[in-house]
Structure 1
Amino acid sequence: MREILGRRRRLRFRRKARTARQEAAVTFAVGWDWPVLPGVGLAEPAGTAESPGRGGLWTRPRTGRAERPGPGGATRTGGDGPVCACPDPGCVVPGAHPFDPGLLAATTDERMIRWWWTRRPDAPVLLATGGRAPCAVSLPAPAGAHALRDLDAMGMRLGPVVATPTRWSILVAPYGLERLGELLYAKDSVPSSLRFHGEGGYLLLPPSTAGTGQVRWERAPLAGSARPWLPDVEAVVDALVAASTATPGGGSRLAY
């Protein structure tokens, strides 16, 4: 009986999480005019999916290593960590990228978004950055915490900040590549662990889950705001460069 009750609780939690992803995607797209699309997501462990094997998903046998039949019936092994649902067994960002549909399909159309997440309720929510949508600057989590402390000490107003266990992303107002290039050219050096998510890029938004773990708001958008306010990239980039340089492991290591 205890096992049955535990299973029911897990199923209720899973349904609630699925509903939360769809509603979050609708809020981003319809409420805030941010174009979104579903990410590829993670493969489900064998025996836990409601319909195991549907859609060509990877499965994880009892050995703990992910396998999927390849050409000619050969088996490809994906290692002991989380396995991406894309065909690449060596995917370095498992679950956290577009696949089908591609990035150009990102939309603010509510009907399309509800259709996507009805078919794929576990899919992460991806923001297509740039254009009319926010851009972002991301850095390793320890450096991100350092940068936020410095920006708070300066009295800097920040918008939303997205966090995973490995990286934090500060959302900023849209910028162009030419403007960003001029800004970075003026710096003596820019740590290679900094990433700039501009036109043609994408970013995972809460409440998604990917290979690095749960995506959450470190700084959530203000409740009731029509559209989150965003700082200009010039206002924050100096602090992000300084924090990445000063934080151990935050400078040259490219942590996903």
Structure 2
Amino acid sequence: MKSTLIALLLVLSVMVCQAQETRPGPQPPPETGETFKVGVAGFTFVRFDLDKTLETLKALDVHYLCIKDFHLPMNSTDAEIAAFHEKLKAHDVTGYAVGPIYMRSEEEVDKAFAYAKRVGVKLIVGVPNVELLPYVEKKVQEYDFKFAIHLHGPDIKIYQDADEVWNHTKDLDPRMGICLDIGHDTRNGKDPVADMEKYHTRVFDMHIKDVTGPIKQGYSIEVGRGIIDFPAMVRMIRKVGYTGVCSLEHERNMDNPFMGIAESLGYFRGVIETTKE
């Protein structure tokens, strides 16, 4: 009798487990309740098509994507843009911005703003030549868009860190600001936590990554393995009331980045959870 009862309980246990596996309950993303969102920068998937990108975002429960033009070319037709958004919607993903887009002439600035309008976003992450900033300001005022200049650390001669972007934009329209790439800011010898505090009124987008050192040779590594103080970073993001997206820009093992993307997002979300008060 006892053995029969044990066998019955084992059968019931297996049935319950199977039912749970086939009908999993909804799992709210860890950033629920925060003023900011967690997303991914499109450049992370530079070597993969949109289908693979969205498949990965769905598996990782990520719902925000900064759109790169290799996934949605700037000369896309209205029908192609509509189909793109339908594909995102099917994966519960929102394309919240476009870029980074490099702009070396007024014509390229015009194309970028027209593209963003057709895509239906109001944030451009851009890298315009410095002499074009007054013209970009006119476009920002014309379109009522926000424009976040992506800083690149010591790799290029302009916009190397948050200080430089601030100095170029502080006297321009307040809708012109910074895409705070915390990795490149660090590689240029700056403290991204302090820069977030100083310039938060002009930080419209963030690229989340980790690096091995505060020098040009410091390279991108999985979030949590490098030198950036992520608990301090998350606390500062909360302190200043940042309402944008913290987009992972993974730049390591680009041919097979998926384990690194998962590890980085897992660590970042873990920090979000463990720093809540």
Q: Please confirm whether the aligned pair reaches a TM-score higher than 0.5, indicating the same fold.
A: no
TM-score (norm: length of structure 2): 0.25
- Higher RCO by CA contacts (8 Å cutoff, separation 6 or greater): 1
Between structure 1 and structure 2, the one with the greater Rg is: 2
TM-score (norm: length of structure 1): 0.26
